[in-house]
Amino acid sequence: MAKRKPWWIELPVMAAVGLAIALLIKTCLFQVFSIPSGSMENTLKVGDRVAVDKLSPLFGWEPAAGDKIVFRDPGGWLPPEPERGAFAKGLSFVGLLPPAGDEYLVKRVIATGGQTIACAGTTLTVDGHPVAEPYLHPGDDSCAGLDFGPVTVPAGYVWVEGDHRSDSADSRYHRDGPAGGAVPVADVVGPVRAVVWPLF
């Protein structure tokens, strides 16, 4: 029987293997993001940690209406991020927080490239058809007092809105941007697959 190595040798080896596995998961499989605001309530709550699938986009997945997605700030949607401490930087390195300096948002896809979206009164339509939205925050309706459209989403882009429609600065509020409020699919990290924290 081979002699077991001392703990002071085994411990760093196990830590290195664990770090390598965490980096592999972060790079190729899943990444954890924290929900910073109430814009997706009650589907996702402030402080929830969500696992985002980074593998599916490598195999042809594309955002579809109804998907919850995480995407990089396409420009000017978020205020500057405060400086992180050493602990937060470490969590970012292994994928338990988003990368420092890269600002991310989570919203729901409402329409995709080539579709035309509009909202009037309390009714949201895509290509002229009303959209049922059972996920909306209690007390909200689809327009939440902001009529707009019709807007045609450019090819290669998605139109995103928060489930807490009255508390979400989403595509509707960035219609003066380069793509009329739409988000480039190239900026999408992946779909939200699960809430990993809290457990219950």
The answer, yes or no, to whether residue 28 has pLDDT greater than 60, is: no
Q: Pick the more confident residue, 180 or 83.
A: 180
Per-residue pLDDT band at 7 (split at 50, 70, 90): low
Does residue 5 have an active-site annotation?
Answer: no
Catalytic residue among 26, 54, 68, 107: 107
Question: Could you tell me which residues come within 8 angstroms of residue 158 by beta carbon, excluding any fewer than 6 positions away?
Answer: 63, 69, 109, 110, 111, 112, 113, 182, 183, 185, 188
Q: Token pair of 174, please?
A: 């960035």
What pLDDT is stored for residue 31 in this prediction?
86
The answer, yes or no, to whether residue 124 has pLDDT greater than 70, is: yes
Does residue 56 have an active-site annotation?
Answer: no
Asked whether 136 and 107 are in contact (CB, 8 A), the reply is: no
Mean pLDDT for 174-183 is 93
Cα(132)–Cα(198) distance, rounded to whole angstroms? 29
Catalytic residue among 26, 39, 68, 171: 39
Asked whether 142 and 121 are in contact (CB, 8 A), the reply is: no
Mean pLDDT for 187-194 is 95
Mean pLDDT for 167-175 is 96
Short-list 110, 107, 142, CA closest to 124 = 142
Q: Could you tell me the sign of the dihedral formed by the alpha carbons of 176, 177, 180, 181, in that order?
A: negative
